[in-house]
């Protein structure tokens, strides 16, 4: 286990947690309506879903790595394509395509738990993000590393949530986010496209027989 491998897993967890999407919008809305405490409760519940999806994603990634590098390269290409598609959609987003009212949420902890466990995009995004950042080190992955990788990714997500909790407590943050929502969403799309290109440049050479031994 190397520090760079753990750092890559932690960075993937951080990006997974901080990238603007339905969860971040929900946190901003809850924080504006009910304060930082309610937003924290929501994120604590949501973290349970992050642990589940990141663990399952890492199981899949380590599993295909054990089968062979070619299978991992195929997963890398598919993940890169998926991230590029998400990024392209975000870059082309228009106002009014996302957002939901949070005024009726009475139990933010349970709402966060349900939200985190039932989000249909959580698993593929976790797989794609982790694959993009771990693809350069695919040959090093083993089952024995799984607990440490899961812990690192969850710590990265926890760090992202600490930042979100700090932000929702700042006056005017939600208003400013709504004002610049399109710009932030498009910037996150550019980020996704960057990780997509990284995954493709790491995986395509292996499929084409161009990777150096």
Residue 95 pLDDT: 62
Residue 151 pLDDT: 94
Each domain of the chain, given as residue ranges in start order, spans 3-207
Strands annotated E in the chain: none
On the question of pLDDT at 18 being above 50, the answer is yes
- What is the pLDDT confidence band of residue 1, given thresholds at 50, 70 and 90? low
Please answer whether residues 14 and 160 qualify as being in contact, where contact means their C-beta atoms are separated by less than 8 angstroms. yes
Residue 21 pLDDT: 66
On the question of pLDDT at 7 being above 90, the answer is yes
- What is the pLDDT confidence band of residue 80, given thresholds at 50, 70 and 90? confident
- What is the pLDDT confidence band of residue 22, given thresholds at 50, 70 and 90? low
The per-residue pLDDT for range 119-128, each reduced to its tens digit, is 656 777 888 8
Please answer whether residues 137 and 5 qualify as being in contact, where contact means their C-beta atoms are separated by less than 8 angstroms. yes
| Rounded Cα distance, 203 and 213, in Å | 14
Q: Is the dihedral of CA 56, 125, 29, 35 positive or negative?
A: positive
Residue 10 pLDDT: 94
On the question of pLDDT at 102 being above 60, the answer is no
Average pLDDT over residues 31-36: 77
Average pLDDT over residues 163-168: 88
Please answer whether residues 62 and 130 qualify as being in contact, where contact means their C-beta atoms are separated by less than 8 angstroms. no
Residue 63 pLDDT: 83
On the question of pLDDT at 100 being above 70, the answer is no
Residue 149 pLDDT: 93
Average pLDDT over residues 168-179: 75
The percent of residues in the chain predicted with pLDDT above 70, rounded, is: 86
With 0-12 CB in 10 A as exposed, 13-18 as middle and 19+ as buried, what is 199? buried
| Rounded Cα distance, 160 and 179, in Å | 22
On the question of pLDDT at 17 being above 80, the answer is yes
Average pLDDT over residues 48-59: 87
Average pLDDT over residues 20-48: 80
Average pLDDT over residues 17-40: 78
């Amino acid at each position: 286990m190397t520090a760079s491998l753990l750092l890559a897993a932690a960075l993937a967890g951080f990006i997974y947690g901080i990238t603007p999407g339905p969860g971040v919008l929900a946190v901003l809305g809850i924080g504006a309506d009910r304060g930082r405490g309610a937003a924290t409760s929501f994120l604590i519940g949501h973290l349970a879903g992050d642990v589940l999806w990141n663990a399952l994603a890492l199981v899949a990634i380590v599993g295909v790595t054990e089968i062979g590098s070619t299978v991992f390269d195929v997963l890398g290409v598919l993940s890169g394509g998926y991230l590029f598609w998400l990024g392209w959609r975000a870059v082309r987003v228009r106002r009014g395509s996302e957002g939901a009212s949070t005024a009726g949420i009475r139990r933010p902890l349970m709402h966060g738990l349900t939200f985190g466990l039932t989000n249909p995009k959580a698993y593929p995004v976790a797989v794609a993000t982790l694959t993009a950042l771990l693809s350069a080190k695919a040959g090093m992955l083993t089952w024995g590393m799984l607990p440490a990788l899961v812990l690192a990714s969850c710590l990265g997500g926890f760090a992202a949530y600490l930042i979100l909790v700090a932000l929702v407590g700042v006056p005017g943050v939600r208003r400013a986010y709504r004002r610049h929502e399109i710009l932030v969403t498009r910037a996150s799309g550019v980020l996704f496209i960057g990780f997509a290109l990284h995954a493709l440049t790491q995986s395509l050479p292996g499929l084409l027989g161009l990777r150096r031994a």
